[in-house]
Structure 1
């Protein structure tokens, strides 16, 4: 397991770490026992099971800026600029950057995390607040530059059946730091907690199938939590445009309420950007985690050498 060296608060003003019993996920009209209507997408073409309240983002990795359009009381105008937050970025896997937004102490506290692939052709963003007034708002976004370009199909290892690996980042509504209690608790906004881990995906571009796992998950804002379970992304089809949407299970084969999906991009599909939204703990049915993975194909420049060590070709 690759864990960060220390648990860091999202902001210096965020002091205590405790769960958030008030937040309730807003997925009832999108997710129903794992069944997803694939035609349900937002204006950016992201399945509602993954975009939820998030209408879109504009992420500039060079300028390190993030504009967010979310139906969630984050601020005005429609596109709200989140501020880069170095404290919230610390502890995240390489290439991930965190942004935060809270207009005042009694407004919702939002965190956004973004990453662009090493090839510069795909990127993903997740946004969430930690909850206030019995609800919270969350969503994800992925995109690519150019068209779907699958790798050539041939004989032997890596000739159409390939792997992708790298870091995972999630935002939850149950482990995050809580701002100092300066007012009546019924008014107090919560901050989302950061979860980090690893992601690994196997793909067959001949059969147009994908599956994988999110594992080594670790709540860096509340390391006292019990070990977080691994999540299996069960096999699903890749569409003709290089997108996919699938369902989740535990390692033991139990259904996990939620979904995963993403998009392949770059030359020979050198990268993949994806999202996952799910109930992380069956004993906490009001808990929710929305996560992202932006992975490089094993064997290509920028691969995760440790996670790709046993893949072929190598």
Structure 2
């Protein structure tokens, strides 16, 4: 792990230290793609998620719970834009951790971030799919394929603390944990399966607890590899702010899942960092976003 300096506005970040398969083989998940960039996986080794039973087990987040594999608690009240929320907190003076996860057609992504305590936080994302890569086909040659839907992220900044366990009156704030602030937004991803390229944007972004608007993020053009995976840069006004990655899954790539890591991207805040995920259906498939209903020439 690598420590990053911090200011009053943000906690210390702990950078990439994990690897290997992000999803454990078993009855509730299939073996996914590996090779998620370290900047995205960071302190998270993987998850086991059952969307039917609504159970989530998290592996690798430091100080989130006593065992290496921690079973998180389902929190429907924290759900955002179709992403299921799960949290963990051993005691009122221990770290609080928030996780979001979503699955479409066996294509899924998760983000896990602890609130700050003692000037440190821990975080990471994973994404993967069941089955092999099946590229989308189109009615016309060289036609682009669009994916649209919601985004959810978590900051190394304090949220409203509504899910924290209560502490005794008069407890010094210096020993109390924080709950990570949430970011919501919308995503549009356009893919060309003929020349194997992808790009997109995350827009209408805001800090959920305060409705503070945030800048739009551009997902710069990236190459889709032979396994349907991709990685690229994230920019604001052509200035690099981080990295994104993802993978296409389902029949004829009916969904795409991915994640981002960005930093120094909020005006007036120092050393802020954000991890987030998107799991989007293909336009023209069941559950497609309203944005897909655009007139075609």
- Find 2:44's aligned residue among 32, 46, 54: 54
Matched, 1:184 2:172: yes
C-alpha separation in 2, matches of 1:208 and 1:70: 33
TM-score of the superposed pair, with normalisation by structure 2: 0.85
C-alpha separation in 2, matches of 1:77 and 1:141: 20
Extract structure 1 runs of 4+ deviating beyond 4 A. Answer: 179-182
List gaps (5 residues or longer) in structure 2: 1-6, 23-33
C-alpha separation in 1, matches of 2:258 and 2:227: 14
| Aligned-pair CA distance for 1:168 | 0.5
C-alpha separation in 2, matches of 1:153 and 1:109: 45
SS at match of 1:173: strand
C-alpha separation in 2, matches of 1:51 and 1:102: 21
- Find 1:150's aligned residue among 104, 120, 135: 135
Contact 1:54 1:70 in 2 (8 A): yes
Matched, 1:210 2:198: yes
| Aligned-pair CA distance for 1:154 | 6.2
Q: Per the alignment, do residues 271 and 312 of structure 1 end up closer, same or farther by CA in structure 2, a change over 3 Å counting?
A: farther
Q: Per the alignment, do residues 20 and 267 of structure 1 end up closer, same or farther by CA in structure 2, a change over 3 Å counting?
A: farther
C-alpha separation in 2, matches of 1:147 and 1:289: 30
Contact 1:42 1:48 in 2 (8 A): no
The residue number in structure 2 matching 1:114 is 101
Contact 2:9 2:270 in 1 (8 A): no
TM-score of the superposed pair, with normalisation by structure 1: 0.81
SS at match of 1:174: strand
Cα RMSD (Å) of the superposition? Answer: 2.2
Contact 1:151 1:160 in 2 (8 A): no
- Find 1:74's aligned residue among 64, 71, 83: 64
C-alpha separation in 2, matches of 1:70 and 1:285: 27
The one of the two structures with greater contact order (alpha-carbon pairs below 8 A, sep at least 6) is 1
| Aligned-pair CA distance for 1:25 | 1.9
The residue number in structure 2 matching 1:9 is none
Contact 1:124 1:293 in 2 (8 A): yes
Q: Per the alignment, do residues 307 and 70 of structure 1 end up closer, same or farther by CA in structure 2, a change over 3 Å counting?
A: same
The residue number in structure 2 matching 1:7 is none
| Aligned-pair CA distance for 1:173 | 1.9
Aligned residues: 273
| Aligned-pair CA distance for 1:26 | 2.2
The residue number in structure 2 matching 1:275 is 259
